Structure 1
Amino acid sequence: MNSESVLTCLPYFDVTTNVVIDYMHGILLGILKKLMSLWFDSKNSKEPYYIGKKVDEVDTIIKTIQPPYFLRRLPRKIAGNYNHWKASEFRSWLLYFSLPALQNILPDIYLTHYSLLVEGTFILLGEGISEADLRRADLLLRTFVRNLNILYRESIVGLNAHNLIHLTRCVRMWGPLWAWSCFVFESFNGEIKKCIHGTGNACRQIFWSLQCQKKVEAMAVQCKEDQLRDFYQCMTEGSNARQKGGEDAYQCVVFTPAKIQKTFRFSNNVKEELVRLCGTYDTNNWMIVKKISRNGFLMFSKQCSRVVKRNSYTIKMVDNTIVEVGHYLIHKSSRKVVAVCQKFQPLGPLIRNRLQHLQTFQLQSVENTVVRAELLQEPVVVVKTESKICCGVIPNNVERD
């Protein structure tokens, strides 16, 4: 027998407006996963959108992707794996990897249709979302849903697809998707599971573990001895501990500056830029730096030894120029920091009139140039194919893997 939910008895609570749509389960683990099954599962081999025979080509591109440090999970191949992906992997695939990897493989009409979902989701994951942004996202998502039945013979217009029509309304009322998604709750579920170390009385284990954690956090605040307080803070921060050993510089923090080796030589172009910016290029006045921190981001250089599987040295500047940083230099007296880098030449968006967050580039010149560190904004996600380099900016500075 059906009956009304007890939630309807709450004053000032309206089920139709106060229950929000979770994009983690609805889009990432719902629509996106279903689309991938249509594209790659052999049972759809006779369909025009089937690209399962080209999955190795897609995996070849995926294998070359070096995500920045804030995308914690390295991309895994699709063949035999995507059903086991985590939600954060689907998020990275949706926003950054999929369109460059599928271009020239997925038929254009399906790729363009899929880009509607990508751009609409990206807009709703932003921070300063304007009314114009909301109208565009709503148009993109409604167009995506309207054409699902036309393009895909197997109907996937279920609840998850229908909810896309109402997603913009939820964002207008409650803020960006990341503000109320299930990612943070799923993450805390993982923290709770870490409290369980045996099969007996799990509830008591969780209770006492969380009590101990709160006690240590309180001790870290109350402790007056610096060394002991740092110890308590380290215990509570765990793997997310902040970077240690940084030195203040002009509008950034630098890590482990070192003397420039005698074998190190500036190119003539770099010498001219250093003179223009700081008045000197004498190596005695400079120190070399491998990474800096700015705008809440770590910005690495290609000199770092741990850049084999990561690319956190391709940086967007405040004027939207993209640069690949070879190394950083700090001027000893003024504490000004510059990046010795190569600039990328923009080629336009990945798909015409769409996806402003996914732009294509090529190296402008093999010759190095110098830019001031205060002009660097944030690392970008880079996907390289045979013909071009695709750089994707992140939608917000809040949500992380």
Structure 2
Amino acid sequence: MNSLLRRAGNLLLFAILATGLLGSAFLSGFAVAWGMHPAPSRTRSAAPAVTTPAAPPQDLQQAFGIFWEAWKLVQEEYYGEIPAPQTVVYGAVRGALQTLGDPYTSFIEPKIARILEEDASGQFEGIGALVRMNRDNKLEIVRVFEGSPAQKAGIRAGDLVIEVNGQSIVGYSIYEAVALIRGPADTSVTLTIERPGQREPLRVTVTRARITIPVVEARMLPENIAYIRLLDFSAQATRQLQEQLKGLLAQNPRGLILDLRDNPGGFLDQAIQVADLFLDEGVIAYERTKDGEERVFRSKSGDIGEKIPMVVLVNAGSASATEIVAGALQDRGRARLIGERTFGKGSVQLVHTLSDGSELRVTIARWFTPSNRAIHGEGLKPDIEVKAEPGAETGGVDPQLQRAVEVLLQGQ
């Protein structure tokens, strides 16, 4: 479990800094982030009706008596400032959820929930870069979007953001940092950056803009191989992928590489639709609850991507909804997986919007591939294992991509 928690924590640190969280990272890992079922939101108004919640069970009331006994002593004796009641409540909810031992059953405060909701829509306002927290707890620029305000201002992958408008963000959570950097279009933000190889920090002013997340990257490789990279399964994933796929297929490629590396997942409906683009009639995935109830997701025949020879690139950052797609293509014999074992996040979260705008995400089920393989905690083993080379994302040698081309050209 500790290993799973560490891996989950690392994956959740990815974010889109437009600034937005990919799947969040949660986004994505909207899940960020992450093969989620949205639950109906509670209606909110300027004057909400007052409702009386059902009384908790007697044994729970007695157990929580200890909490109030302890907190009363804190209020009476603590030498320092007592947090606001809302802060205490949020902390209590988080603490209770931690006892479940499930990193995916989580509580998200209203401000962060709004960020994740906007990111999942595929559009937001900010600077346009992919970020994460590195091991030194500094905000690292992982990728800068083409034509974004961040690129125009000279921000590069590898830059470390240490201040926002003169305020240090070292030690901040990724959400707190993102909330400071993003903002309305046509407003500016000044970032203090540590850049590898330079002794003194840089101060860069960026004018924010309306950003559309580039969910899909597509191009033709020299060997007449079509290449598509899908970055997440947010709301625009299927539409953008289908548009790019049509353009590539019109060029009569010899084969297709679907790159799902470092794709943290996203919405379940998008994963099912993407898988359906490449599969004829049959099972895509099974979803099973703790009570044994089963839901079967199926593909239908007649989509544009069902005939072209294809392979799929995966790695340890391929998670959740990504694993549904990769697992279906592998089990159905549609495509071989090339790269490294996937993350192994095969649980399903139901998203509840609470009365104050916060979110509660509850694990309600597990996913299984068409051949009934468990995804959760296991991941998918590639058909052809190829280790990544450092620097591949910044223009270096990419042995996984090279191997994919070889398989399509040579059939082995």
Task: Bin the TM-score by the shorter chain.
Answer: under 0.3
Choose between structure 1 and 2: higher strand proportion. 2
Q: TM-score, normalised by structure 2?
A: 0.25
TM-score (norm 1): 0.26
